């Protein structure tokens, strides 16, 4: 479905923009049908930048993204609409997506005008009702409200309902549940799992390992713009090979063990410092260490 090859993003930095900072460095990965892929990494590792490149909100500096075999960079003008019908983003702060002075149903009006101009009002209302109900919202309760009258969880669901209305195939979900309380989080996570059953694929961007584990069938670990490890979620979480993945997993508080009881791991590969892009002249190779489980090693 989506294939990124050597995806790179360079930002100009420093005075007169003479320096270059690689926010994403030769990232290659695939998202298949019905995949929920978690993209995990600490703050500043390049997660949002990857999401924005997929959504064509940020230009690619190098490499390629293909969607169903087509180079995404070539999608322009009137083909863009078709692309955004299939690929949609939902972001961290749902409030920022909504204009506070418009009632919530206005976004749906825009979807109708944009994507379903020929549909009668009655048919449209039915479609809208169905999509809101499918994300657990009561249309009567939410449609004529202003954003500040809705909760963060309701707004997230709104955005997911909007994505459903236009029959998206791939949802880029960037930290969408970080700001929700624990029980609403689980609801939204379960909603994503349900969407997956319907055939939707999700790139689930998070810095929270446990959320990534809960929801995804594949995991990508990003460190300073470089993919250091990726594969089926179980393999990455239970057999982490890269020292960065190991230290990430070791830093998750555990209920069953006190901190000083956690056995220290032996470092399997060179310390992560040697992987910092620009500091190492050594090339990293993605090596398949078990089926579909890849690790960046020298
Ligand atoms: N427009 C820009 N110009 C210059 N640098 C940028 C720009 N956008 C992002 N960056 C830098 O690129 C790096 C990656 O940013 P990005 O937003 O992708 O990180 P992230 O993994 O999403 O972090 P977080 O978890 O905090 O959301 C950061 O160091 C950031 O400062
Ligand atoms: Mg981000």
pLDDT in tens, 115-140: 889 999 999 999 899 888 888 888 88
User: Ligand nearest 207 Cα, by number?
Assistant: 1
Whole-prediction pTM: 0.85
Q: Could you give the CA distance from residue 62 to residue 291 in angstroms, rounded to a whole number?
A: 28
User: Ligand nearest 174 Cα, by number?
Assistant: 2
The pLDDT value given to residue 93 = 63
Q: Decide whether any atom of ligand 1 lies within 6 Å of the 41 Cβ.
A: yes
Answer yes or no: are the C-beta atoms of 244 and 228 closer than 8 Å: yes
Write the pLDDT tens digit of every residue in 157-178: 887 888 778 778 999 998 887 6
List the beta bridge partners of residue 20. 12
Instruction: Name the DSSP letter for residue 277.
Output: B
Q: What is the strand order of the sheet 285-290 is part of?
A: 87-90, 170-174, 201-206, 36-40, 218-223, 226-232, 293-297, 285-290
* pLDDT over 70, % of the chain: 85
What is the b/e burial string over 38-48, where b = at least 16 CB atoms within 10 angstroms of the residue's CB?
Answer: bbbbeeebbbb
> Which atom of ligand 1 lies nearest, measured to the CA of 41?
21
Q: For each of the domains in the chain, give its residue range(s) and CATH number, in order of start.
A: 2-297 (3.40.50.300)
Q: Between 154 and 66, whose confidence is greater? A: 66
Answer yes or no: are the C-beta atoms of 269 and 277 closer than 8 Å: no
Q: How far is the CA of 203 from the centre of ligand 2 (A)?
A: 13
């Amino acid at each position: 479905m989506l294939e990124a090859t050597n995806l790179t993003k360079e930002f100009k930095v420093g005075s007169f923009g003479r320096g270059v900072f690689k926010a994403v460095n030769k990232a290659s990965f695939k998202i298949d049908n019905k995949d929920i892929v978690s993209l995990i990494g600490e703050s500043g590792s390049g997660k949002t930048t990857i999401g924005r490149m997929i959504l064509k909100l940020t230009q690619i500096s190098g490499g390629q993204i293909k969607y169903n075999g087509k180079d995404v960079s070539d999608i322009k003008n009137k083909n863009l609409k078709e692309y955004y019908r299939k690929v949609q983003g939902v972001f961290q702060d749902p409030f920022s997506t909504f204009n506070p002075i418009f009632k919530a149903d206005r976004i749906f009006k825009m979807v109708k005008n944009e994507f379903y101009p020929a549909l009668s009002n009655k048919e449209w209302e039915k479609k809208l009702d169905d999509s809101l109900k499918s994300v657990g919202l009561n249309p009567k309760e939410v449609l004529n409200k202003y954003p500040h009258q809705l909760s963060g969880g309701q707004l997230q669901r709104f955005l997911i309902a909007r994505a459903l209305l236009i029959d998206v195939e791939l949802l880029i979900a960037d930290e969408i549940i970080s700001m929700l309380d624990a029980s609403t989080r689980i609801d939204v996570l379960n909603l994503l799992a349900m969407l997956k059953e319907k055939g939707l694929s999700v790139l689930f961007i998070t810095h929270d390992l446990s959320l990534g584990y809960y929801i995804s069938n594949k995991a990508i670990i990003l460190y300073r713009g470089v993919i250091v490890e990726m594969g089926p979620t179980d393999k990455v979480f239970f057999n982490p090979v890269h020292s960065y993945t190991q230290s990430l997993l070791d830093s998750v508080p555990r209920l069953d063990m006190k901190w000083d009881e956690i056995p220290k791991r032996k470092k399997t590969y060179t310390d992560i410092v040697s992987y910092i892009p620009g500091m190492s002249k050594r090339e990293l190779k993605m090596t398949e260490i078990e089926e579909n489980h890849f690790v960046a090693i020298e």
